[in-house]
C-alpha cells in the first residue's frame, strides 16, 4: 500500500467517525416513529460497516455502473429501457437515465478510463475491497485442471469442471466428502467419478454397504470385478489372513525399512473386528481374546518373528493362515472364553459360515466393487470393516500408484450404530491415504448420524481431512449443520436446500462452485421406476467420439445428447 493511500484511508476513517457521531446525535432527537429514523439508523449501520472494513485491511472505492442499452428503433429502445429498469429495481438497484447527457454517457462508457465529472458524482457509490472485487469482470470461478476428470458444468459460466484431485500442487489432499440427503445423487456422483478415474488408469475400490446392485451395471460394463460378500455368496475374505504386501516400491524409494511384527499389527486390527461383532466385550474378555489369537496363530507356526510367516515349501508365499474356525476351537478350550466362542459360532458353523474360509477373491482388477449390502444388522458393520481392511492392505502396497477408495453410506461405519474403533479406522484412512498416493472418497446421508459418535469427532475429522467437499441437496437442518463447518454463506445454504437432483456445490481450496453433474447413461442407480426410460432414450451428456466418457461404452449418436425427456440438446466437447 502506498503512503498516499494510507493517508487517504486515515482521512476517510476520521471523516466516517465524525459523520457517525453527527448521525448518532441526530437519531437521539428523532422519534422512532419518524420516517427519518430508518434512514438515519441505516446510515449509522453502513458507517460502522465501512469503519470495520477499513479497520480490517480493506480499501475504500467509489464504484460507478453505467448500463448501455442499444436498440434498432426508438420504441424498442424505450421498451428495453423500461425492462432494464424493472430488472435492476427488482435487485434493489436504483437507476437514473442520462437524459440530456447521452453523449457524455456514451464517451464515459468507452474503455478510456475517463468518466465525465458530473456523471461520476451522480452515479458514484462507495464500496470496500470485497465489493469491488466481486464486480471485477475478469474473475470467474473455474476449476479446470490438466489431466483431471470431468465432473460437470459450472452453473454460473458454463465452463467445464475438470478436477485432478491427485495434483498435490493444487489440492493438499485428494480426499472428497460427498454429502446429500437420500436420493440426492451421491451414489450416482460417486460412480461417475469412479468410472472416469478408471478410464485414467487409477485403481478404484468401491465399498457398497447398501444397494450394492446399483454398482453392478457400470462394473460389468467396464470389465470390473464385483465381489459380493454375504452369507449366501461363495466369495470370502479371510479376516484372519496376514497378507503378503509387495514392499519392493517402498524399498526402492526409502531403502530397507525397520521390521515390524506383522502379527501384532494384524491382531490390533482383529480387535476392531471383534469389538464390532461383540460390542459388549468386557476388558477381561478382550485380554483373553488377545491370548487366544496369539495361540491360534502359534498353532500354525506363526509368531511375532516375521520369518515364521513364510511357507517353508515356497518362501515366495505365506503359509496357510488360520480361519475363524481355528480361533473358535481355541476359544472353546477355555471356559472363560466360551461366551466369545458361542458368539463367533455364527460365522463358523452358523448361518454366516461362508466367513469361515480362506480368501478366494483378489483385488487385482483396476475397478473392484465390494458389495456388502446383503449383510444386515451387526454383520453389516463387520462386513464393511472386513472389506475396508482388505482394500486398505492393497492400497498401501504401491505408493507411486494412484488409487481411490470409495466408501458409500459412510455413516454406517462412523454413525451411532458403529463404534469408536471402526470410526477411528475410517478416519485413519482419511488421514494417511495421501501418504500412499491415494484418495478416500466417502458419501453419506443422514448428517446427524454422521456426526453422532463422540460428539461428531469422527464426522468432523473426515470433513476436515477432505480437501474437496461436494454438497448435493440437503434438508434445511442438515445444511445449517454443515454451514459453519464449511463456512458457507447464507446464499449457498439456500442454494443447497433447493438443489435439484444432479446439482451440487463443490467446495475446494476455498472455492465454492455450483455444478450440475453430467449425466451418464451407463451409470444408473435407483429403482426401475425412476430409471423409467427405455434404453433407446439415452441420457448422456458426457459423449465424445461416439463413446461415453464414464464407461467408454459405444453410444448411439456421437456428439449429440438426448435428454431424459427425449428432447435433444447438443453438447459437443
Ligand atoms: N446427475 C444426475 N443425473 C441424472 N440422474 C441422476 C443424477 N444424480 C442422481 N440421479 C438419479 O437419481 C436417483 C437417485 O440417485 P442416487 O441413488 O445416486 O441417490 P443417493 O443420494 O445415493 O440416495 P441414497 O442415499 O438413498 O442412496 C437415481 O435414479 C439416479 O439415477
Ligand atoms: Mg446411494
Ligand having the closest approach to the CA of 188: 1
Nearest ligand atom owner, CA of 189 = 1
Mean pLDDT, residues 455-468 taken together:
89
| Number of neighbours of residue 539 by Cβ within 10 angstroms | 17
Taking CA atoms only, the protein residue closest to ligand 1 atom 15 is 185
pLDDT at 337: 92
Q: Which of 497, 274, 293 is nearest to 389 (CA)?
A: 274
Q: What are phi and psi of 513, to 5 degrees?
A: -125, 135
Q: How many CA atoms lie within 13 A of 180 on its CB side?
A: 28
pLDDT of residue 138: 54
User: Does residue 459 surpass a pLDDT of 80?
Assistant: yes
Q: What is the percent of the chain with per-residue pLDDT over 70, rounded to a whole number? A: 86
As to burial, measured by CB atoms within 10 angstroms (0-12 exposed, 13-18 middle, 19+ buried), residue 136 is exposed
Q: What is the pLDDT of residue 140?
A: 53
Strand partners, 543: 548
Answer yes or no: is pLDDT of 543 > 60: no
Cα(371) to ligand 2 centroid in Å equals 13
**What percent of the chain shows pLDDT beyond 90?**
27
* Model pLDDT, residue 76: 94
361 CA from centroid of ligand 2 (Å)? 25
Mean pLDDT across the stretch 215-241? 90
**pLDDT bracket for residue 157 (50, 70, 90):** confident
Mean pLDDT, residues 531-537? 33
Distance between CA atoms of residues 381 and 354, nearest Å? 16
pLDDT category of residue 2 using cuts at 50, 70 and 90: low
For residue 54, is pLDDT > 90?
no
Ligand 2 centroid distance, CA of 211 (Å): 7
The confidence band for 370, taking pLDDT boundaries of 50, 70 and 90, is very high
Strand 468-471 vs strand 438-444: parallel, antiparallel, or unpaired?
A: unpaired
* Interval between CA 129 and ligand 2 midpoint (Å): 43
Q: How far is it, in rounded angstroms, from Cα 492 to Cα 193? A: 23
Tell me which residue has its CA closest to atom 18 in ligand 1: 185
Mean per-residue pLDDT, 438-457: 86
151, 185, 191: residue to mutate for ligand 1 pocket, most atoms within 8 A of CB: 185
Distances (CA, A) of 146 to 194, 196, 408, 453: 18, 14, 27, 39
Output the CA torsion 72→78→80→84 (10° steps).
Answer: 150
Q: Give distance in angstroms: CA of 378 to centre of ligand 2.
A: 20
- Look up residue 488 and give its DSSP letter: -
- For residue 551, report the distance from its CA to the centre of ligand 1, in Å: 17
The rounded Å distance from CA 451 to ligand 2 centre is: 18
The pLDDT-based confidence of 313 (bands split at 50, 70, 90) is confident
* Ligand positioned closest to the Cα atom of 520: 1
Strands (E), 140-221: 149-153, 160-163, 176-179, 203-208
Nearest CA to ligand 1 atom 4: 519
pTM (2 d.p.): 0.70
Q: Of the spans 139-153, 246-260, 476-490, 527-541, which averages the highest pLDDT?
A: 476-490
pLDDT per position as a tens digit, 138-147: 545 567 888 8
The rounded distance, in Å, linking the Cα atoms of 158 and 153 is 5
The per-residue pLDDT for 441 is: 95
Report whether pLDDT(156) > 80.
Answer: no
Does residue 564 carry a pLDDT above 80? Answer: no
pLDDT value of position 417 = 74
Q: Please give the mean pLDDT across all residues of the chain.
A: 81
| Cα 490 to the center of its chain, rounded Å | 20
CA nearest to 539, candidates 514, 512, 557, 513: 557
Ligand 1 pocket test, candidate residues 475, 496, 526, most atoms within 8 A of CB: 526
Which range (301-310, 353-362, 415-424, 548-557) has the least confidence?
A: 548-557
Q: Within 13 Å of residue 134, how many CA atoms lie on the same side as its CB?
A: 4
Q: Give the position, in ligand 1's atom list, of the atom nearest the Cα of 524.
A: 31
Choose one of 152, 187, 474, 499 to mutate for the ligand 1 pocket test, by most ligand atoms within 8 angstroms of C-beta.
187
Q: What is the pLDDT of residues 111-143, one digit of tens each?
A: 888 889 999 998 888 888 888 877 776 545 567
- Paired sense of beta strands 568-570 and 560-562, if any: antiparallel
pLDDT tens digits for 251-272? 777 777 777 889 999 999 999 8
- Cell matching residue 374: 446383503
476 C-alpha vs ligand 1 centroid, how far in Å? 19
With beta carbons less than 8 A apart as the criterion, state whether 206 and 499 touch.
Answer: no
Q: Give the C-alpha separation, 224 to 76, whole Å.
A: 61
Q: 529 versus 18: which is more confidently predicted?
A: 18
Looking at the CA of residue 214, tell me the nearest atom of ligand 1: 17
SS3 567: coil
* pLDDT, greater one: 404 or 157: 404
pLDDT in tens, 297-306: 999 999 999 8
Tally of CB atoms within 10 A around 157: 10
The residue to mutate among 410, 411, 525, 539, having the most atoms of ligand 1 within 8 angstroms of its beta carbon, is 525
Q: Indicate the pLDDT class of residue 233, thresholds 50, 70 and 90.
A: confident
pLDDT given for residue 544 in this prediction: 30
Q: Considering only CA atoms, which residue is closest to atom 12 of ligand 1?
A: 185
424, containing H or E segment: helix 420-432
Q: Which three cell numbers stand for residue 247?
A: 514392499
Place 512 in a pLDDT band, splitting at 50, 70 and 90. Answer: low
Least confident of 213-222, 388-397, 462-471: 388-397
Report how far residue 140's alpha carbon sits from residue 155's, in angstroms, rounded to the nearest whole number.
12
pLDDT at 540 over 50: no
Closest residue to atom 1 of ligand 1, CA basis: 502
Substitution site in 161, 188, 503 for ligand 1 pocket (most atoms within 8 Å of beta carbon): 188
Question: What residues flank ligand 1, with Cβ below 6 Å?
Answer: 180, 182-188, 211, 445, 501-502, 517, 519, 524-526, 530
Q: Which ligand is nearest to the CA of 539?
A: 1
Helix (H, G, I), strand (E, B) or coil at 479: helix
Spell out the residues 6+ positions from residue 318 whose beta carbon is closer than 8 angstroms to its own. Answer: 242, 243, 244, 309, 310, 311
Using the predicted structure, report yes or no on whether residue 377 has a pLDDT greater than 60. Answer: yes
Q: Which atom of ligand 1 is nearest to the CA of 188?
A: 18
CA of 183, nearest ligand number: 1
**pLDDT at residue 547 above 70?**
no
Nearest-atom index, ligand 1, CA of 519: 3
Amino acid at each position: 500500500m502506498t503512503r498516499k493511500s494510507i493517508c487517504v484511508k486515515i482521512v476517510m476513517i476520521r471523516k466516517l467517525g465524525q459523520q457517525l457521531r453527527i448521525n448518532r446525535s441526530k437519531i437521539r432527537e428523532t422519534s422512532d416513529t419518524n420516517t427519518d429514523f430508518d434512514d438515519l439508523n441505516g446510515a449509522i449501520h453502513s458507517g460502522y460497516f465501512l469503519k470495520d472494513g477499513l479497520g480490517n485491511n480493506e480499501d475504500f472505492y467509489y464504484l460507478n455502473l453505467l448500463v448501455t442499452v442499444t436498440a434498432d428503433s426508438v420504441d424498442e429502445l424505450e421498451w428495453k429501457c423500461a425492462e432494464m429498469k424493472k430488472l435492476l429495481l427488482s435487485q434493489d438497484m436504483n437507476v437514473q437515465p442520462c437524459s440530456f447527457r447521452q453523449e457524455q454517457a456514451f464517451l464515459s462508457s468507452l474503455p478510456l478510463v475517463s468518466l465525465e465529472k458530473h456523471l461520476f458524482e451522480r452515479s458514484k457509490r462507495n464500496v470496500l475491497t470485497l465489493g469491488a472485487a466481486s464486480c471485477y469482470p475478469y474473475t470467474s470461478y473455474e476449476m479446470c485442471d490438466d489431466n483431471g476428470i470431468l465432473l460437470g458444468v459450472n452453473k454460473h459460466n458454463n465452463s467445464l469442471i475438470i478436477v485432478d484431485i491427485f495434483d498435490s500442487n493444487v489440492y493438499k489432499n485428494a480426499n472428497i466428502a460427498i454429502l446429500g440427503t437420500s436420493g440426492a445423487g451421491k451414489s450416482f456422483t460417486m460412480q461417475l467419478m469412479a468410472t472416469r478415474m478408471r478410464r485414467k488408469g487409477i485403481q478404484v475400490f468401491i465399498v457398497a454397504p447398501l444397494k450394492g446392485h446399483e454398482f453392478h451395471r457400470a462394473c460389468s460394463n467396464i470389465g470390473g470385478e464385483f465381489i459380493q460378500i454375504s452369507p449366501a455368496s461363495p466369495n470370502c475374505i479371510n479376516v484372519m489372513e496376514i497378507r503378503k504386501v509387495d514392499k519392493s516400491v517402498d524399498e526402492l524409494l526409502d531403502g530397507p525399512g525397520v521390521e515390524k511384527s506383522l502379527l501384532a499389527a494384524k491382531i490390533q486390527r482383529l480387535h476392531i473386528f471383534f469389538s464390532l461383532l461383540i460390542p459388549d466385550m468386557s476388558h477381561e474378555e478382550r485380554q483373553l481374546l488377545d491370548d487366544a489369537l496369539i495361540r491360534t496363530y502359534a498353532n500354525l507356526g506363526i509368531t511375532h518373528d516375521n520369518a515364521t510367516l513364510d511357507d517353508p515349501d515356497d518362501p515366495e508365499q505365506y503359509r496357510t493362515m488360520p480361519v475363524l474356525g481355528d480361533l473358535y476351537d481355541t476359544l472353546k478350550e477355555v471356559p472363560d472364553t466360551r461366551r466369545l466362542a458361542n458368539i463367533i459360532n455364527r460365522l463358523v458353523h452358523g448361518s454366516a459360515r461362508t466367513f469361515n474360509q480362506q480368501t478366494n477373491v483378489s483385488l487385482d482388477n483396476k475397478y473392484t466393487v465390494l458389495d456388502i449390502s446383503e449383510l444386515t444388522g451387526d454383520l453389516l458393520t463387520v462386513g464393511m470393516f472386513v472389506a475396508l481392511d482388505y482394500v486398505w492392505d492393497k492400497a498401501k502396497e504401491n505408493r507411486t500408484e494412484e488409487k481411490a477408495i470409495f466408501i458409500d453410506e459412510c455413516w454406517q461405519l462412523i454413525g451411532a450404530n458403529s463404534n469408536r474403533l471402526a470410526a477411528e479406522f475410517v478416519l485413519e484412512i482419511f488421514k494417511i491415504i495421501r501418504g500412499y498416493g491415494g484418495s478416500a472418497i466417502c458419501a453419506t446421508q443422514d448428517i446427524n448420524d454422521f456426526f453422532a459418535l463422540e460428539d461428531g469427532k469422527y464426522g468432523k475429522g473426515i470433513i476436515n481431512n477432505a480437501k474437496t467437499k461436494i454438497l448435493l441437496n440437503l434438508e434445511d437442518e442438515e445444511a445449517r449443520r454443515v454451514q459453519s463447518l464449511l463456512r458457507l454463506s447464507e446464499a449457498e445454504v439456500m442454494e443447497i436446500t433447493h438443489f435439484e437432483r444432479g446439482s451440487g456445490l463443490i467446495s475446494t481450496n476455498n472455492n465454492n462452485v455450483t455444478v450440475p453433474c453430467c449425466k451418464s447413461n451407463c451409470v444408473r442407480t435407483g429403482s426401475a421406476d425412476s430409471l423409467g426410460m427405455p434404453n433407446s432414450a439415452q441420457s448422456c451428456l458426457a459423449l465424445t467420439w461416439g463413446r461415453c466418457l464414464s464407461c467408454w461404452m459405444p453410444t448411439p449418436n456421437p456428439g449429440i445428447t438426448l435428454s431424459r425427456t427425449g428432447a435433444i440438446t447438443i453438447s459437443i466437447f
